[in-house]
C-alpha cells in the first residue's frame, strides 16, 4: 500500500511532465529546473547551517576498538580515532566504502526457532553499487553542461563503456544502477521485516530514481533523443541565457522533470543523509576525551566554592578542633 502511494506520486509526476511539456515547454525546460535548483541550494544551506549550529554538549564518538592509552597498548586508529587525520581516515572509509554498513547483520530464526545474527553483505554491495553508479552517471552528465568536455569526463565515460557490448555502447553503470535499485526496492517489498518499517518516504526516492534511470536508458538505447538539442538547452541554462531548442522529446521532458523533482525533494527528505553523514558527531569527533577536556558549549558560569576556599574560610575552627588540613601539609 505504501509502495503504491509512492508509485502513484511518481506516475503523477510523469503525467504532469508529459502533458505540461507539450503545452508550455519553456516552463518545463527552464523555469522548473531553475526553481528546483534554487529550492535545493537554499534548502541544503539552511539545513546544514541549522545542524552546524547545534551545540555538541558531550563528545560522543561511537567506537568499537581500543582507544589510545598507554604506549605499549596498540590503538585501533580507525575504530577509535584520536587525531583529526585518523577521524578523516575513518570518515573517508565510511563515505566512500560504507564501512559500518559492511558490518551490518541481519537477524534470522533458525528452524529450531533460535534467533541468530548473520552477516548481510548483499545490502552493503547493493548500496555501494547504487551510490557509485549514481555518482558516475551524474559526473558523466557533465558532458551536456560543459564545453569543451573535460578529459576526465571523457575518460570516465570511456571506462564506463569499456565492454562495448551494444551500439550505442552499453554502460556498466546503467546495468548496475538498475540492478541495485531493483534489489533495494525488492528488499523493501518482499522482506517482511523491512516492509514493516518502510514508509512511502522510503519507496518514493527509490521509485523516483528508478523512473529517472529508466527514462534515461530509454533515451539512450530505444527512443533516441536529439543530443545536440539537449546540449544546446543545457549550455544555455548553465550561462543563464536559456533557449529552448526544437527536437526535445517528451521522454526527455519527463526525465528532466523527474530529475528536478528529485533535486527539489532532497532537502526535505531522508536523502539529506548526503550532508548529514559529514556532520554526525558520533563519526566526526576524535575519541580523545581522556587527553583533552571537552567543554560543553551550554555551560554557563557557575559560582563554585572550592575545597581550598572552604578550608581557608574555616581554617581557625578546623585547627581548633584538631582536624588535619590539606593547606597545612
Core vs surface per residue 2-12: b (16+ CB within 10 A) or e: bbeebbeebee
CB of 186 to ligand HEM, least distance (A): 19
Which listed residue (2, 47, 59, 141) binds ligand HEM by CB under 6 A? 141
* Window 259-288: residues binding ligand HEM (CB under 6 A): 259, 262
Which listed residue (14, 32, 156, 171) binds ligand HEM by CB under 6 A? 171
Core vs surface per residue 99-119: b (16+ CB within 10 A) or e: bebbeeeeeeeeeeeeeeeee
Which listed residue (21, 32, 207, 213) binds ligand HEM by CB under 6 A? 213
Cβ atoms 229, 248 nearer than 8 A: yes
Of the pair 210, 285, the CB lying nearest ligand HEM is at 210
The stretch near ligand HEM (CB under 6 A) out of 12-20, 81-89, 183-191, 213-221 is 213-221
- When asked if residue 256 is in the footprint of ligand HEM (CB under 6 A), the reply is yes
The stretch near ligand HEM (CB under 6 A) out of 37-45, 181-189, 190-198, 255-263 is 255-263
CB of 66 to ligand HEM, least distance (A): 42
- When asked if residue 212 is in the footprint of ligand HEM (CB under 6 A), the reply is yes
The stretch near ligand HEM (CB under 6 A) out of 78-86, 103-111, 210-218, 288-296 is 210-218
- When asked if residue 174 is in the footprint of ligand HEM (CB under 6 A), the reply is yes
**124 alpha carbon, distance to own chain's centre:** 14
Q: Which long-range contacts does 68-72 make (Cβ < 8 Å, 24+ apart)?
A: 68/287, 68/288, 68/291, 69/290
Cβ atoms 317, 329 nearer than 8 A: no
Closest CA to 234 of 248, 214, 217, 220: 248
Cβ atoms 234, 145 nearer than 8 A: yes
Give the span between the Cα atoms of 167 and 190, in whole angstroms. 35
The residue ranges that bind ligand HEM (CB under 6 A) are 134, 137-138, 140-141, 144, 171, 173-174, 177, 212-213, 216-217, 219-220, 225, 227, 230, 234, 252, 255-256, 259, 262
Amino acid at each position: 500500500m505504501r509502495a503504491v502511494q509512492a508509485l502513484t506520486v511518481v506516475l503523477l509526476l510523469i503525467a504532469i511532465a508529459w502533458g505540461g511539456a507539450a503545452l508550455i515547454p519553456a516552463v518545463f525546460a527552464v523555469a522548473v529546473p531553475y526553481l528546483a535548483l534554487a529550492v535545493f541550494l537554499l534548502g541544503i544551506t539552511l539545513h546544514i547551517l541549522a545542524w552546524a549550529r547545534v551545540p555538541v554538549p558531550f563528545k560522543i564518538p561511537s567506537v568499537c576498538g581500543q582507544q589510545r592509552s598507554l604506549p605499549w597498548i596498540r590503538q585501533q586508529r580507525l575504530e577509535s580515532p584520536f587525531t583529526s587525520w585518523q577521524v578523516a581516515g575513518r570518515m573517508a572509509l565510511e563515505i566512500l566504502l560504507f564501512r559500518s554498513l559492511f558490518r551490518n547483520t541481519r537477524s534470522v530464526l533458525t528452524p529450531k526457532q533460535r534467533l541468530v545474527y548473520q552477516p548481510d553483505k548483499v545490502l552493503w554491495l547493493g548500496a555501494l553499487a547504487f551510490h557509485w553508479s549514481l555518482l558516475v552517471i551524474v559526473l558523466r552528465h557533465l558532458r551536456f553542461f560543459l564545453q569543451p568536455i573535460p578529459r576526465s569526463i571523457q575518460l570516465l565515460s570511456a571506462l564506463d563503456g569499456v565492454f562495448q557490448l551494444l551500439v550505442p555502447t552499453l554502460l556498466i553503470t546503467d546495468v548496475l544502477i538498475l540492478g541495485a535499485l531493483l534489489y533495494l526496492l525488492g528488499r523493501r517489498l518482499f522482506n517482511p521485516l523491512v516492509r514493516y518499517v518502510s514508509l512511502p518516504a522510503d519507496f518514493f526516492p527509490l521509485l523516483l530514481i528508478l523512473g529517472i534511470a529508466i527514462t534515461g536508458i530509454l533515451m539512450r538505447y530505444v527512443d533516441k533523443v536529439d543530443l545536440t538539442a539537449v546540449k544546446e538547452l543545457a549550455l544555455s541554462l548553465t550561462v543563464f541565457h536559456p533557449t529552448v531548442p526544437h527536437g526535445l522529446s517528451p521522454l526527455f521532458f519527463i526525465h528532466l522533470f523527474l530529475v528536478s523533482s528529485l533535486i527539489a525533494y532532497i532537502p526535505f527528505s531522508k536523502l539529506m543523509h548526503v550532508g548529514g553523514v559529514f556532520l554526525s558527531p558520533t563519526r566526526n569527533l576524535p575519541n580523545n576525551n581522556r587527553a583533552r577536556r571537552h567543554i560543553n558549549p551550554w555551560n554557563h558560569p557557575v559560582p563554585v566554592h572550592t575545597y581550598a576556599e572552604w578550608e581557608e574560610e574555616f581554617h581557625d575552627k578546623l585547627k581548633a578542633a584538631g582536624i588535619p588540613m590539606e593547606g597545612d601539609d
